[in-house]
Amino acid sequence: MSIRNYKELDIMTYEAVIGLEVHAQMMTESKMFCGCPTKFGSEPNSQTCPVCIGMPGVLPVINRKAVEFAVRTGLAADCTISSYSRFARKNYFYPDLPKGYQISQYELPMCEGGHIDIVVDGVKKRVGLTRIHMEEDAGKNIHEGTGNYSFVDLNRAGTPLMEIVSEPDIRSPKEAAEYMKKIRAIVRYLGVCDGNMEQGSLRCDANVSVRPLGQKEFGVKAEIKNINSFRFVEKALEYEIKRQIGILDDGGRIIQETRLWDPSTNTTQSMRTKEEAHDYRYFPEPDLVPIVADEKWIDEIRDSLPELPDAKRERFISEYGLPEYDADFLTSEKAIAQWFEDAVKAGANPKAASNWMMVELTGLLNEENKNMDECPLKPVQLAGMLRLIDNGTISGKIAKTVFEEIYKTGKDADAIVKEKGLIQISDTGEIEKIVDEVIAKNHAEAERFRAGDEKLIGFFVGQVMKLTKGKANPQVVNDLLRKKLS
């Protein structure tokens, strides 16, 4: 169906209602119900056994670590941890699910309630959680080659997943993307999921409906399946909201359906309607005992929780006097926060360290497609370089060169400065000679400056810096130039 051109007004008179179901692959060594490894990228079907390929007569055994990870996540999101929880069979048949059912949870999930807080455009917002439950992932169907056949790789079959289901509390595509980013940050802080969206370790189904502003009841929703990037969740929802408003404005009605996001056309396409929806015929999994989580164990897990992104962000603002923007960046990843605090411990000024990390360090890491865990520069080396700026040994400009050299060679700032003769010239006599030379060579400009063209000061500073290879103390240069040109 085509989309009308809507006027701004239409968009303003409707409100979007969104709920996300986020699937996070848990970072356990072995699978949910067997001992097969969960490693990504191995030879197809090399990580399988009778349990995860669904041979008859075998019995699954619950992975204790996976339960612990789900509980960890639940505690971090302020959920109620169920003292009695159980697995259920969700029946459907696809070749990538060889048992003919997926072991999941239904009426008794591991965690219930709770919330995730997000900040959008400076406004804090709380998104309620419905539940967090555990389930096993399916394998992968591969459709390639020219023959009339497909392949199945069951390495992923049985990998432990958590499904984090939100209440329909989200109101815009941007909030949805922020919510997903926050979940990624939290699971990575907790060490329960690597958050690798390209590999599918974190993905979501986005449910969305629209309603006239002021209406209490929700509209009919569409579910957009299997979105694996923050950008896609935002774009898919933007498209879908417009599509639904377009239909309502044309006097049509929304049908409940499952849709697929197509990144090549930036549209969503219908996959199946409610009539074609699966009847999962859930029933309690008879091969597994219910999980009875004892208080002591849950308390132990609670005590082992790390400081989480929100708390760290608040602390960075109050303890280091950082702007919110800096605190957001520094706490976005545990490794970045750790690096920053190590630099401060080594004597770096917090705001200076933050600036160098946000601009230069991020730039260098991005060039090589590296993340913070792979950063070759050590926090103590940044602190050492900042010391050289503070005591006037090098200028801020030279520091950029020094910083790159530290990054590339692993040598300390002191050594690089000595080796390359980068020490700042603060000797007034030496600079004065060059200033005189520059003024003498640029008569016309000097006259114009004296006649009031103040902007030319930049030109003169530039000339002096050129002759000193950027090593002159900028403050001294400025002072001398103004004195001589007055």
Q: What does the binding site for ligand ADP look like in residue numbers (CB under 6 A)? A: 17-21, 165-168, 207-209, 218, 221
Could you say which residues in the range 374-393 bind Zn ion, by CB under 5 A? none
Tell how far CA 404 is from the center of its chain: 26
Question: If contact means CB under 5 to 8 A according to the sort of partner, which of Zn ion, ligand ADP, none does residue 172 touch?
Answer: none
Cβ proximity to ligand ADP, 155 vs 228, nearer residue: 228
Which residues fall within 8 angstroms of residue 313, CB to CB, at 6 or more apart?
A: 324, 327, 328, 331
Closest C-alpha to 483, from 428, 444, 418: 428
Subset of 199-228 contacting Zn ion (CB under 5 A): none
CB of 69 to ligand ADP, least distance (A): 21
Q: Work out whether 36 is an interface residue with Zn ion (CB under 5 A).
A: yes
Under the criterion CB under 5 A, does residue 32 sit at the interface with Zn ion? Answer: no
As a whole number of Å, the end-to-end CA separation of the chain is 72
Distance CA 319, CA 409 (A): 33
Q: Between residues 136 and 169, which has the closer beta carbon with respect to Zn ion?
A: 136
Which one, 47 or 424, has the nearer CB to Zn ion? 47
- Asked if 138 is part of the footprint of Zn ion (rule: CB under 5 A), the reply reads no
Pick what 209 binds: Zn ion, ligand ADP, none; C-beta below 5 to 8 Å, kind-dependent.
ligand ADP
Nearest one of 224, 234, 228 to 268, comparing CA atoms:
224
Residue 154 binds to Zn ion (criterion: CB under 5 A): no
Exposure pattern of 27-52 as b/e (b: 16+ CB <10 Å)? Answer: bbebbbbbebebeeeeeeeebbeebb
In angstroms, rounded to a whole number, what is the distance separating the alpha carbons of residues 152 and 308?
A: 39
- Shortest separation between residue 171's beta carbon and ligand ADP, angstroms: 10
Q: CB nearer to Zn ion: give 52 or 291.
A: 52
Provide, rounded to whole angstroms, the least separation between the CB of residue 109 and ligand ADP. 11
Does the footprint of Zn ion cover residue 52 (CB under 5 A)? yes
Give the residue with the Cβ less far from ligand ADP, 163 or 405: 163
Q: Are strands 222-227 and 257-262 parallel, antiparallel or unpaired?
A: parallel
Q: How far is the CB of 164 from ligand ADP (least distance, A)?
A: 9
Which amino acid would we find at residue 145?
Answer: G
Residues 6+ apart with CB under 8 A from 24: 73, 161, 162, 163, 164, 183, 187, 192, 193, 195, 201, 202
Judge contact between 465 and 477, C-beta under 8 A.
yes
Interface segment toward Zn ion; rule CB under 5 A; list 34-42, 85-93, 308-316, 462-470: 34-42
Our CB check for Zn ion shows the closer of 90 and 156 to be 156
The two tokens of residue 14 are 């409707």
- Which option in Zn ion, ligand ADP, none does residue 18 bind, with CB closer than 5 to 8 A by kind? ligand ADP
Binding partner of 393, given ligand ADP, Zn ion, none, CB within 5-8 angstroms per partner class: none
* Per rule CB under 5 A, count of chain residues that contact Zn ion: 5
By three-state DSSP, how is residue 143 classified?
A: coil
- Quote the strand ranges of 27-137, DSSP E: 80-81, 84-85, 87-91, 101-105, 111-112, 115-120, 123-136
Which of the stretches 42-50, 112-120, 222-230, 447-455 binds Zn ion when contact is defined by CB under 5 A?
A: 42-50
Partner touching 446 among ligand ADP, Zn ion, none, CB below 5 to 8 Å by kind: none
Choices 41-49, 86-94, 360-368, 390-398 (CB under 5 A): range interacting with Zn ion = 41-49
Nearer Cβ to Zn ion, position 49 or 380?
A: 49
Nearest approach in angstroms of CB 39 to Zn ion is 13
For every residue of 270-313, DSSP letters joined together read EEEEGGG------EE-TTSPPEE--HHHHHHHHHTPPPPHHHHH
User: At closest approach, how far in Å is the CB of 106 from ligand ADP?
Assistant: 11
- Note whether 157 binds Zn ion by CB under 5 A: no
**Shortest approach of ligand ADP to residue 244 CB, angstroms?**
10
Which DSSP string corresponds to 176-195?
HHHHHHHHHHHHHHHTS---
Among residues 137 and 341, whose Cβ is nearest to Zn ion? 137
Closest residue by Cα to residue 110 from 128, 90, 134, 127: 134
Give the residue at shortest CB distance from ligand ADP: 19
Cβ distance to ligand ADP smaller for residue 66 or 208? 208
Q: Are 191 and 132 contacting, i.e. CB atoms less than 8 angstroms apart?
A: no
Longest Cα separation, the chain: 96
Q: Which CB, 194 or 238, lies closer to ligand ADP?
A: 238
Binding site for Zn ion (CB under 5 A): 34, 36, 49, 51-52
